[in-house]
Structure 1
């Protein structure tokens, strides 16, 4: 059995089938450094350089599952990294959907664009910038996914979320919680599980300091 299929089969029954199908269409080995490609389908986070990581496949699956992405949605991703999570979101949103991925490190943003192109993934626009401020020029978004831990839910991201939209992100410093925010008349916040992510660096994150 192929490693990728074995990995996804292990999540069956816990993760929505649409998410597993989307992940099956995205070759994770295209989004990890060449020297780690033989480990691409291990269910672990892997280093991608610059102190950053590509999230473990099960965490990508859980976040996408909780977001309930539908075809045609406009999605903002914060913390683009190597481009893998954005690729899965694009597979879920389909050809009519749009994914805007913000990455603060120029070298990673460039690498993500190359990875997405090499993997044949369309529908993702990688933007260099401070993701903690969102990307107001393309707001509002149906879904927002943040792959770095913030001290609190950033106000700009809440403001850029469409009514009825959902935002998922880890919150906390030494102890982090994966939080799902749904915009209704106000904002409903649900804590889902304890997690470990790299810090969100930016004006609405942990500033420019490294923790």
Structure 2
């Protein structure tokens, strides 16, 4: 059994991965294609690793993507917005999950990280992912409303623009809290009513 399959089996055993279509995406996407050269040999360790410009940015641990995509119930045909592209790995997973009828828009504010992700996505064959170098706090209204939104950087509160761009029955996940530790919060929008649920505790770089 190869390292990728071992990682996926462990994520299933630990309860992070449940949905067959999400498991299929994890099987399809090669994490090593989204890592800096010196860390590629650790691609299937369930850990975060540094990415350009090597200040605080990382490729998140695989289990965090499993938690988020299971929580928002990302599925085929969804219009998905990711705030914080990072390495591009999360966007690639999402592209596999939403399929040809879906849409993935991802925003990265740090120029060096954006360039790293853009090249990774292109080399891995995900040229139809829309990747933007901009401030994610404002979302991307051009393709809104979104069925699902994922924020991979910590904020003290949910940016109002993201709530506005979330569809009527949309789901959003965001880390809320200080720079040290945060609560990963699931927000469910039911018409004009918003419900929140704490999923777990995490550590992400600040949303800037």
TM value normalised by structure 2: 0.93
- Paired residue for 1:205? none
Counterpart of 1:105? 110
Please list every run of at least 4 consecutive aligned residues from structure 1 whose deviation after the TM superposition is greater than 3 angstroms.
Answer: none
**Match of residue 193, structure 2, among 180, 183, 186:** 186
Matched with 1:39 is: 42
Equivalent residue, structure 2, for 1:67: 72
CA contact (8 A) 2:46 2:62 kept: yes
2: distance between equivalents of 1:71 and 1:113? 23
Instruction: Report the CA distance between 1:123 and its aligned residue.
Output: 3.2
State the superposition RMSD in angstroms.
1.1
Between Structure 1 and Structure 2, how many residues are aligned? 201
Matched residue, 2:99: 94
SS at match of 1:69: coil
1:154-179 CA-partner distances (Å, limit 9, x unpaired): 11100100000000011001331000
2:31 aligned with 1:21: no
Aligned to 1:4: 4
Structure 2 residues not aligned, in runs of 5+: none
For residues 53-86 of structure 1, give each alpha carbon's deviation from its aligned partner in whole angstroms, at most 9, with x where no partner exists.
Answer: 0100011111111111111111100000110001
Q: How do 1:121-160 and structure 2 match up within 5 A?
A: 121-160=126-165
Is the Cα–Cα contact under 8 Å of residues 45 and 55 in structure 1 kept in the other structure? yes
Q: What is the distance in 1 between the residues matched to 2:171 and 2:41? A: 35
Bigger drift between 6-15 and 54-63 goes to 6-15
Structure 1 position 177 matched with structure 2 position 183: yes
- Following superposition, the deviation at residue 122 of structure 1 comes to 4.3
Q: Distance in 2 between matches of 1:190 and 1:12?
A: 22
**Contact 1:95 1:123 (C-alpha < 8 Å) held by counterparts:** no
User: CA contact under 8 A between 2:183 and 2:202: conserved in structure 1?
Assistant: yes
What is the rounded CA distance, in whole Å, between the counterparts of 1:115 and 1:49 in structure 2? Answer: 12
Alpha-carbon distance in 2 for matches of 1:199, 1:156? 17
> How many angstroms apart in 1 are the aligned matches of 2:145 and 2:47?
33
